[in-house]
Amino acid sequence: MSDKTWLFTSESVSEGHPDKVCDRISDAVLDAYLAADPMSRVACETLATTDHVTIAGEVRGPDSVLKDVEEIARNAIKDIGYEQDGFHWKTAEIVCRLHAQSSDIAMGVDEGEKGEEGAGDQGIMFGYACNETEELMPAPIQFSHRILRHMAEDRKSGKRPEFGPDAKSQVTLQYRDGKPVGLDTVVVSTQHGENVTQEQVRELVEPYIKGAFPEGWTLPADRLIVNPTGQFVIGGPDGDAGLTGRKIIVDTYGGAAPHGGGAFSGKDPTKVDRSAAYAARYLAKNVVAAGLADKCQIQLAYAIGVPEPVAIYVDTLGTGRVDETKLATTLREMVRLTPRGIREHLDLLRPIYTRTAAYGHFGRQATEDGGFSWERTDLADELARTFGATRAAE
């Protein structure tokens, strides 16, 4: 329909949000195990509250890592920036309740006769990409992340010591005919020092709003809402308990695409909750980068202990230029979607996960050390050739 318009909203939370503190600790523990032994199995959950952190879950790896868990947690809290009454990296109580992985689960997941490994759990995983931003991500979540990431960078560098670690952003965009065309509302809540007024907080936040959006996008003053509840001095786990895996929509597409329900942080790549979600994003991003569709959503489904996905579904949401059934078959031929196949193709058995714990697992830059390998578009040229398409400009 011509000139169809609507609003869409996504939110992000900073690395100092209570749930993100827990994600960070869980992923730091995972990285420590993978650094010691790439074949470690880890399912690490963290809870944080006032002056307390509990780390629990199942692991199979070097016993030497267990003695370092408390230090790993304290270093994570320190790097985030918590040195406040009620939650301080030096004084918080750290309790470790990690224990050996269930032998029943291990039996189903371990490598079998054909050199494959079974999926670590049953479930469905989704990947998504669209051409709304250069990162091929939905614009509202990408802009929400950008605001908080830049605020955190300046806080940690000392440029903006007025900000505290805990913060949230929310972006509402105007859409017309399927494309974001402008701003409607931005909400930012940020922890701050005791001597900082709400007027000062607003003045400090405004430049980060202006810098986050495309040139020419404007926001009326009454549509920028900063710290709507007023003073925000007490933050982090002292203000609200945190748990690993509670921000799964923040971690993915901001509600613009479905989520299978499984969290990512603290899980090694045999857990398809994580690795298959990365693979689905990788495939969807390459489809869009190849110019085969403006949007692509991919669903994978697994059974515990079974290597091959029981189903793959490709949906280009009415924007596709090729047959979706053929596209699904081609993608499955290009990438082996077993846990081992995904792990090897994306090189996932590296200590690369701590950096994923805040500001999104997707829409990031692939790095030389293997981080965010699922953001590569190295399949796009072959896909474009296969279907006779013109690759989308990068």
Lookup: tokens for 187: 């909400």
Would the annotation count 17 as a binding residue? Answer: yes
**Residues 127 and 150 grouped into a single domain:** no
DSSP 310: S
- Residue 118, pLDDT above cutoff 90: no
| CATH code for the domain in which residue 318 is found | 3.30.300.10
pLDDT band at 116 (very low <50, low <70, confident <90, very high): confident
Would the annotation count 179 as a binding residue? Answer: no
**Residues 127 and 158 grouped into a single domain:** no
- Residue 156, pLDDT above cutoff 70: yes
Rg for the chain, CA atoms, rounded: 21
pLDDT value for 386: 96
**Residues 204 and 296 grouped into a single domain:** no
- Does residue 279 lie in a domain region? yes
**Residues 104 and 22 grouped into a single domain:** yes
**Residues 268 and 155 grouped into a single domain:** no
**Residues 9 and 31 grouped into a single domain:** no
In angstroms, rounded to a whole number, what is the distance separating the alpha carbons of residues 166 and 343? Answer: 33
**Residues 275 and 213 grouped into a single domain:** no
Lookup: tokens for 78: 């320190």
Would the annotation count 31 as a binding residue? Answer: no
**Do β-strands 52-60 and 123-130 pair in parallel, antiparallel, or remain unpaired?**
unpaired
**Residues 104 and 153 grouped into a single domain:** no
Would the annotation count 271 as a binding residue? Answer: yes
- Does residue 102 lie in a domain region? yes
| Exposure on the CB side of residue 323, measured as CA atoms within 13 A | 5
Please indicate, yes or no, whether the overall pTM of this predicted structure exceeds 0.75: yes
In angstroms, rounded to a whole number, what is the distance separating the alpha carbons of residues 13 and 210? Answer: 19
What integer best gives the mean pLDDT of the chain? 94
pLDDT band at 109 (very low <50, low <70, confident <90, very high): low
- Residue 108, pLDDT above cutoff 90: no
pLDDT value for 392: 63
**Residues 90 and 183 grouped into a single domain:** no
pLDDT value for 112: 52
* First and final C-alpha spacing in the chain: 29
Would the annotation count 336 as a binding residue? Answer: no
Quote the percentage of the chain above a pLDDT of 70. Answer: 95
- Does residue 240 lie in a domain region? no
In angstroms, rounded to a whole number, what is the distance separating the alpha carbons of residues 63 and 263? Answer: 25
Residue among 331, 332, 327 nearest 315 (CA): 327
- Does residue 212 lie in a domain region? yes
Q: What string of DSSP letters covers 127-163? A: EEEETTSTTSS-HHHHHHHHHHHHHHHHHHHTS-TTE
pLDDT in tens, 55-91: 999 999 999 999 999 999 999 999 999 999 999 999 9
Which segment of 84-93, 100-109, 146-155, 204-213 scores lowest on mean pLDDT?
100-109
- Does residue 31 lie in a domain region? yes
Which segment of 32-41, 97-106, 366-375 scores lowest on mean pLDDT?
97-106
What mean pLDDT is predicted for residues 190-212?
96
The residues annotated with a catalytic role in the active site are: 17, 19-20, 45, 58, 168, 232, 240-241, 246-247, 267, 271, 273
- Does residue 254 lie in a domain region? no
pLDDT value for 101: 77
- Does residue 50 lie in a domain region? yes
**Residues 79 and 177 grouped into a single domain:** no
**Residues 6+ away with beta carbon under 8 Å from 73:** 25, 28, 29, 46, 53, 55, 94
**Residues 9 and 157 grouped into a single domain:** yes
What mean pLDDT is predicted for residues 276-303?
97
Domain count, the chain: 3
Orientation of helix 69-80 relative to helix 18-36, angle to 10°: 130
- Does residue 255 lie in a domain region? no
Would the annotation count 90 as a binding residue? Answer: no
Q: Are 286 and 366 in contact (CB under 8 A)?
A: no
pLDDT in tens, 315-372: 999 999 999 999 999 999 999 999 999 999 999 999 999 999 999 999 999 999 999 9
Amino acid found at 322 = V
Orientation of helix 324-334 relative to helix 380-387, angle to 10°: 140
**Residues 6+ away with beta carbon under 8 Å from 207:** none
Report phi then psi at 382, rounded to 5. Answer: -65, -40
Would the annotation count 263 as a binding residue? Answer: yes
Q: What string of DSSP letters covers 309-377? A: -SEEEEE-TT--SS-HHHHHHHHHHHS--SHHHHHHHHT--SS--GGGGSS-SSSPPP-TTSTTGGG--
| Exposure on the CB side of residue 48, measured as CA atoms within 13 A | 34
**Residues 72 and 152 grouped into a single domain:** no
Would the annotation count 45 as a binding residue? Answer: yes
Which segment of 16-30, 109-123, 195-209, 240-254 scores lowest on mean pLDDT?
109-123
Lookup: tokens for 73: 């947690």
Residue among 6, 9, 5 nearest 187 (CA): 9
Would the annotation count 191 as a binding residue? Answer: no
pLDDT band at 305 (very low <50, low <70, confident <90, very high): confident
What mean pLDDT is predicted for residues 232-236?
96
Report phi then psi at 295, rounded to 5. Answer: -140, 145
- What's the domain range around 42? 18-108
